Amino acid sequence: MRVAFAATAAAIALLGSAPAWAGEGHIDIHTGLGWSDGLPSKALAGGSVGYDWNKGPVFIGVEQSIDKVLISDSDARWGTSARIGTQVSPGFKVYATGGYNYGQGPDGTDIGAGVEKSYGPIYGRVEYKHFFNNDGAIDTNAATVGVGIHF
């Protein structure tokens, strides 16, 4: 867990100085629902911090997140991911994301997609992710909405 967080921080520090790519950091909070086949949906909440590098309308980014299913016996899960997307109109982005998640339960990979709309430094975000568990357990899905700030 510490290695993934350190790798994300190092990538932000090293790549953030690349002159050909302008960029911006972001931090957000989000909430939503998680579900698996045959199991009831569960509410979840979390947050993320990351950095996007922009080259024209295209951007790539890295992100570190933490999420918790809102039940008493649940621990937080961490995620380290990358995203790539495009700005389709001023302040409106669409993107694909993929990464690795770890914490309580089996570690695994995830893929997803999202949209983000900025209003000055504030933004809103809607995202879907599908989580693949490494131990063959039931895969999980999550849909979240969030609000954040660019810095």
Write down all domains in the chain, each with its CATH number in brackets. 2-150 (2.40.160.20)
- The whole-number pLDDT of residue 93 equals 98
**Two tokens, residue 24:** 């911006």
- pLDDT tens digits along 60-112: 999 999 999 898 788 899 999 999 999 999 999 999 999 999 987 789 999 99
**CA dihedral defined by 124, 14, 4, 72, rounded to 10 degrees?**
-30
Query: Do the strands 42-55 and 22-35 form a parallel or antiparallel pair, or are they unpaired?
Result: antiparallel
- For tokens 């992710």, the residue is 129
pLDDT at 10 exceeding the cut of 60: no
Least confident residue range of 1-5, 36-40, 74-78, 118-122: 1-5
Amino acid at 2: R
- Evaluate if residue 9 carries a pLDDT over 60: no
- What value does the mean pLDDT take over residues 6-23? 58
The tokens describing 122, both together, are 């504030």
Inform me whether the pLDDT recorded for 41 exceeds 60: yes
Residue 95: the pLDDT is 99
Average pLDDT, the chain: 88
Residue 74: the pLDDT is: 83
* Confidence class for position 138, pLDDT limits 50, 70, 90: confident
High-pLDDT (> 90) share of the chain, %: 68
Nearest CA-CA partner of 122 in 12, 24, 46, 31: 24
